[in-house]
Structure 1
Amino acid sequence: MESGAERADRSTADGGTADGGTADGGTADGGTADGGTADGGTADGRARALAVVLDAAVGEQAVDPYRLDGALADLGVTGGAAAGAAERLYRLRRDQLRLRRREHELTALFSSARELAEERDADALLARLVERAHDMMDSDVTYLSEFDAASLTLRVRKTAGSVSPRFQRLVVPPGRGLASLVVETRAAQWVTRYEDDSAGWHEDSLSEAVAAEGLVSLLGVPLLSDEDVLGVLFVGTRDEHAFTPEQVALLSALANHASVVLQTAQRLQRLQRSQEEARDALERLREHLVERDRANAVHQQLIRSVLEDSDFSPIAEKLAEALDRAVAVVDEYGEVIVTAGRALSADELRRAPVAEAVRASHDSGRCVLVEDGGDIGAVAALTTGSYYFGAVLLGTGGFPLSSVDLRTIERGAQVGTLLAMQRQAVSDAEHRRQGELLADLLDGSPDRRRDAVRRAKRLRVPVQDLDTLVLFAVPGEHRPQATRTLLGPLHSRALVGEYGGHVAVALSSRQPGVTVQRLHDQLRAALSVPVLSVSAAASGDLPTAVVTAQRTVRLLQALGAGDLAARAEDYHPYAAVFEPDPAALTAYLDTMVGPVRRYDAEHGTDLLATLRAFVRNQSSPTRTGRELGFHTNTILQRIERLTRLLGEGWRDDELFFRLSLAVRLDEIAERLRRL
């Protein structure tokens, strides 16, 4: 095809002018002087040529250069002028296309901005942004990865064009992949061929995911917020592609919009969490105020009820009503004082976890929850300092006990402690009065005794019926508790108090249900220590009875008795002879009986049994042999052996009396040691 410049050169050589005119006034396209043309140089031809020129400048499709040269030639533009005009037309077309593309991009960005202002669903916004980037960048796969600043990982959140489920759930480890490079540099990064890149950030799982999508070229731009990176927006193609600066700029603009979405979503989440936390805090405060008001009301009711009734019943009833569970109050011995609500089993009160919780509450002064306590869920000890008065026990309920509920229980226990202390003060005063009265009755002074009898009448204590005196030998620290324990079963028909280092009880032997052995057993169980009890018949003479009982106690203690309920009458002959001193009594028994004991231990004999039988049978060998089942000659042989051990005069009256007394005391001591 001949170009316009070639035609212009040819027409000039034939005599035409440079602008296409001929020498005789014709035109280069065959037109005549009157405007006609030989090859279509009509007005329609020029219009078609002009349309081609306009298409070359602003048309939708590109115009073939040869066709443009022909159109310019038809319009009379040839040679260098045609080349310059064609260049300007191509430049105009490029500018026009760039402006159109820019208009399209701006329209898309404006649409995205409008969606940012109108839409509140972050997921929907991110999905639209990814789809818009996918369309505008004409990519095969577009995806957005969100950055977790805590774990330094990137997780794919939205995709467009992806066909691999594995890629859609991809998590990029810290420092690996093109995405981590974008985060570290805070700048756009791209690769023309992903597999050929040797930057050192490849990772097997990432390469496998990229290969599953068939991606070749990748471009990623960061989603920035001040100094933070929120994520990375990626586009990828399955054919090799070189990304232009315009594409990088466009994707960065969309990434900025995505960062706004993520920032807004994060702020909304923080705001929502703050609102929820504030709502929860307000609800907890409201519940706390309700519980506090209820606790205050219960505490006031407890104080008022106790002041009015001086009884533990209001404590149990108010706590049971307020906390909707069974309540029991027990004393220091574990005996139930009062219950409210469903009755708690006595077996439950003795469970090991309950006892351990009571000890913990006693030590801490706080309410303690019970695990594996059966029907009992919480305990609070009635305690002050080292004093323990009992405990408040609460059953399990339909709701867990809050901190305010625990404080309510502790307040109830405090009120119970005040009531117990009040009762203790009254009881201690009563104990002191009884102790003083008993001490005056036991004293030998006639004046003090007469005054004590008058005071006893005022207290309605029948002194004339007090025909038995009992002394209880217990450690000093246990005597106050022993006194309180004995007052329980004795009521007002006996006197209890401390006297001469012991706990003394003056009572009537005719009082129903009361025996010395039962009092001894109750006291031992309450104190959990050995108790030595000695009773003496008063016969209207309490001072004499107390002297007899004291001597017997000292004798039994010297003989090693520790836990025994004894009658003074059984030991009266020995107590009357001795003013026992443990060291002196031990030396006496060793002098008199010790040689026989040592001989038996060395030779495996039982001469001591023969000696005891000989003493019991008034020095008669015949009766001794009959008791032991031996022949009289055998007994006589043993008596000769005893003579060698005890000396020739051991059967003389005076010495035999002392020996007999020692033998009987030694036998009593041995029997006491076996108890």
Structure 2
Amino acid sequence: MALQEQPILRVLELLAREAPAAAYEELLAPAGAPEARPAERERLAEALRLAAAVRGHIDRRQEREAALSALVDTAHDLTLPYDLDALLRVIARRARLLLNLDMAYISFHDEESGDSYVRTADGHASSLTMGFRVPIGSGLGSSVRSGSAPFWSPDYLEDPRVAHHSLIDDVVRAEGLRAILAVPLRSRDSALGVLYAADRTVRHFTPDEISLMASLADLASVAIEKTRELGRARAEIAALERSASRTRSDLLSVRRANEVHARMTDLLLAGGDLSGLLALATGVLGGTAAVLEPDGRVLASTGPLPEELPGTEETARAVLETHAARRPVEFSPGAWLAPVAAGGEYLGCVLVHPAEPLSDSGLRLLRLTAGTTGVLMLMQRNTAVAESQVREEFFDDLLTVPGRPPAQLRDRARRLGLDLEAPYAVAVIRPEGGSLGRAVVWASSYALRAGGLSNVRGGCLTLLLPSRNPGETARRVSDELTPLLGHPVTVGAAGPTAGPADIAPTHAEALRCLGALTSLGSSGSSAAASELGFLGLLLGDNHSVDRYVEDTIGPVLDYDTQRYTTLVHTLESYFESGSSPTHAAEALHVHPNTVSRRLERITALLGEDWQEPARALEVQLALRLHRTRRTLRAEAPPAGLRDPDGAGASAAGGAGGALTDPFGAGGFGAGSGPGSAGPHADRLRAP
């Protein structure tokens, strides 16, 4: 019995010390058991067979333990923080090493297109794999998605169970793959994608390998979902941080805007102006800013506006659109307009061209600036209304109350910021349709801006404006007022004035110019009395011969008076001789060179164009009026015999009565009678 049990004990001993297979084979060798009988040898062989089975179970258990250990290590690796792409690379590498395969790759489902695409790969040999899109319903992935279970093939290209597709087969050939195992990546009830493991030799996957790969896929799915959740959480945290940062920035901006608004309020209370208000806004926003009137003109600004801004017409349209929107709008790239309104009345807008793009806080500050601007403009309007009443009263006095002491007038003018010794033009405006309401408001504002005075007399607007060119002033007034009223205006102007005492006569001349425009059928046009020439003298309601003569040949009269020359007589002889210097020299009994020199002096005094037909007609008429006026004054009766009411002027005409009114109107009106000698009366000696 002991002899029989001895080989079996030897087998158990070999199992206990995990001896190699060669040690078991020695027990069956003749040298190992020479005395054993056949029955004993059979029992020994059976023991060795059982020992081999035990050894196989032990080997498989060890392999399973090693695989589980590797799976645990993989699970540990998957718990580390990765971004999604890095995590997928770790999963693919672990899958390839876990089963000792040549390649592993992961595909994700595309919910929009319905197909799949390869997101990552490990061990690939061609670049076709990365980003490769797997056609719908083909390859191992379609079987995995439809059955939600692993699917494998020992030789993919030769397997008839697989739904082949030429694109997939080309990639498999390019990679040299044969055996492929595919397991689903699932997250709760949804499928994320497929994990593939492939070998470049024909291989039959065991159930343990398939189970191991499925376990890895489950761990990978959890890690993928965790990484996605972590990514979403990080994105939300980043969004919250950005929101918190914006909130802090907005709070700082609101605080800064409130501080600026408080300074703006202090500025209003201190009597500040629009420029100071804009300076406070641009101190925060940077860049430049301006306040625009409803017609798009700049009322105040902090500096020159960018040249790339649109023109005046486009600006005026944008101002109206801003008012209709009742909110700030982007006028042009980088420039914003904010409406300035008081109730339903539109006052203008604020134009801002900031140094940086305008943020929400910048828009808030822009709205506050526009609102404060509206308050300031209303305050200025109320002040202007009160001041305009004083200015209108002063203008009335200048026009209707003669003989005021000049010192008193200059003192009142100085308090209103006027210098009446400077040249002014008087413009009389008659709107051709509609009421005067809007025109009166405009005139008051325009006169205040221009540094002049305004008034309403006889249904017409009267403006006293600083100007040396009354014609240009009349056209500028017409161009601005006509679009505002929506119908034409007729403007007659005169000037420039030469002191406070000259304002009333200049106003009378502007009225005559307005009457002349009406007589000519030119209502809706604008002109100055000097531009109408003798037509204004003929067609006006009243005639001012003195002013006409002064404006036409005044420099020649002054030259003769100061130097005791006879340029006026030379002019008369020149025209009477048909504009011939030679014939004029014969009539004057002087040398022709003398006439030429006198004509050169006249050209220097009157300008190069005095011999042009239109201008020559003016000069001849002025000469005739001057001669007639001089004749009438020479025939006037002594002062003691004159009619106190001025009737003696016509009664004393005597034989010269035919010269008293060359126009057949019974006289030349104010300024032509003997009691109102012109500025050049008695200057010349008789020719």
Place the TM-score, normalised by the shorter chain, in its bin: 0.5 to 0.7
Q: Does 1:571 align with 2:539?
A: yes
Distance 1:67 1:489, change over 3 A: closer
Which of 490, 507, 512 in structure 2 is aligned with 1:532?
490
1:381–1:413 CA contact under 8 A, matched in 2: yes
State the 1:574 CA deviation: 12
After TM superposition, list the pairs within 5 Å mapping 1:125-204 onto structure 2: 126-198=88-160, 201-204=163-166
Distance 1:214 1:279, change over 3 A: same
SS in structure 2 of the partner of residue 281 of structure 1: helix
1:471–1:504 CA contact under 8 A, matched in 2: yes
Q: Does 1:277 align with 2:236?
A: no
Q: Does 1:103 align with 2:65?
A: yes
Distance 1:321 1:129, change over 3 A: closer
After TM superposition, list the pairs within 5 Å mapping 1:18-417 onto structure 2: 50-51=10-11, 54=14, 60-61=20-21, 74=36, 77-78=39-40, 85=47, 88-117=50-79, 126-198=88-160, 201-332=163-294, 336-340=298-302, 342-344=303-305, 350=311, 354-371=315-332, 377-384=335-342, 387-397=345-355, 399-417=356-374
Q: TM-score, normalised by structure 2?
A: 0.61
SS in structure 1 of the partner of residue 181 of structure 2: strand
2:89–2:121 CA contact under 8 A, matched in 1: yes
1:122–1:265 CA contact under 8 A, matched in 2: yes
The count of corresponding residues between Structure 1 and Structure 2 is 514
Which of 504, 523, 528 in structure 1 is aligned with 2:477?
523
SS in structure 2 of the partner of residue 111 of structure 1: helix
What letter corresponds to residue 472 of structure 1 in structure 2?
R
What letter corresponds to residue 263 of structure 2 in structure 1?
Q
What letter corresponds to residue 487 of structure 1 in structure 2?
A
> What residue number does 2:467 align with?
513
State the 1:210 CA deviation: 0.7
Q: Does 1:425 align with 2:387?
A: no
What letter corresponds to residue 288 of structure 2 in structure 1?
A
Unaligned 5+ runs, structure 1: 1-18, 20-34, 36-40, 444-448, 451-455, 576-659, 662-675
2:474–2:493 CA contact under 8 A, matched in 1: no
Q: Deviations over 1:145-202 (max 9, x none)?
A: 3444455444434444433332355332444321243234321112233223445743
> What residue number does 2:444 align with?
484
Matches of 1:160 and 1:491, distance apart in 2: 86
2:516–2:540 CA contact under 8 A, matched in 1: no
SS in structure 2 of the partner of residue 253 of structure 1: helix
SS in structure 1 of the partner of residue 491 of structure 2: strand
Q: Deviations over 1:565-619 (max 9, x none)?
A: 47686435799xxxxxxxxxxxxxxxxxxxxxxxxxxxxxxxxxxxxxxxxxxxx
2:439–2:481 CA contact under 8 A, matched in 1: no
State the 1:301 CA deviation: 0.9
> What residue number does 2:607 align with?
none
Percent of aligned pairs with the same amino acid:
25
What letter corresponds to residue 483 of structure 1 in structure 2?
A
Matches of 2:231 and 2:199, distance apart in 1: 34
After TM superposition, list the pairs within 5 Å mapping 1:580-659 onto structure 2: none
Distance 1:148 1:68, change over 3 A: farther
2:84–2:227 CA contact under 8 A, matched in 1: yes
> What residue number does 1:497 align with?
456
What letter corresponds to residue 254 of structure 1 in structure 2?
L
State the 1:426 CA deviation: 3.2
State the 1:277 CA deviation: 1.1
Q: Deviations over 1:290-348 (max 9, x none)?
A: 111111111111121022124113212201211222333344565554443x5447896
> What residue number does 1:470 align with?
428
State the 1:405 CA deviation: 0.9
SS in structure 2 of the partner of residue 309 of structure 1: coil
Q: Deviations over 1:457-477 (max 9, x none)?
A: 9x9589xx9998935224436
1:520–1:531 CA contact under 8 A, matched in 2: no
Matches of 1:498 and 1:476, distance apart in 2: 17
State the 1:126 CA deviation: 4.7
1:58–1:96 CA contact under 8 A, matched in 2: no
SS in structure 2 of the partner of residue 222 of structure 1: strand
Distance 1:484 1:109, change over 3 A: same
Q: Deviations over 1:43-66 (max 9, x none)?
A: 9xx559934994699655499999
SS in structure 2 of the partner of residue 526 of structure 1: helix
SS in structure 1 of the partner of residue 358 of structure 2: coil
1:58–1:92 CA contact under 8 A, matched in 2: no
SS in structure 1 of the partner of residue 54 of structure 2: helix
State the 1:211 CA deviation: 0.8
SS in structure 2 of the partner of residue 360 of structure 1: helix
SS in structure 1 of the partner of residue 279 of structure 2: helix
SS in structure 2 of the partner of residue 167 of structure 1: coil
Matches of 2:21 and 2:126, distance apart in 1: 37
2:151–2:182 CA contact under 8 A, matched in 1: yes
Matches of 2:540 and 2:99, distance apart in 1: 121
State the 1:556 CA deviation: 4.5
Unaligned 5+ runs, structure 2: 403-407, 415-420, 496-500, 530-535, 544-663, 666-687
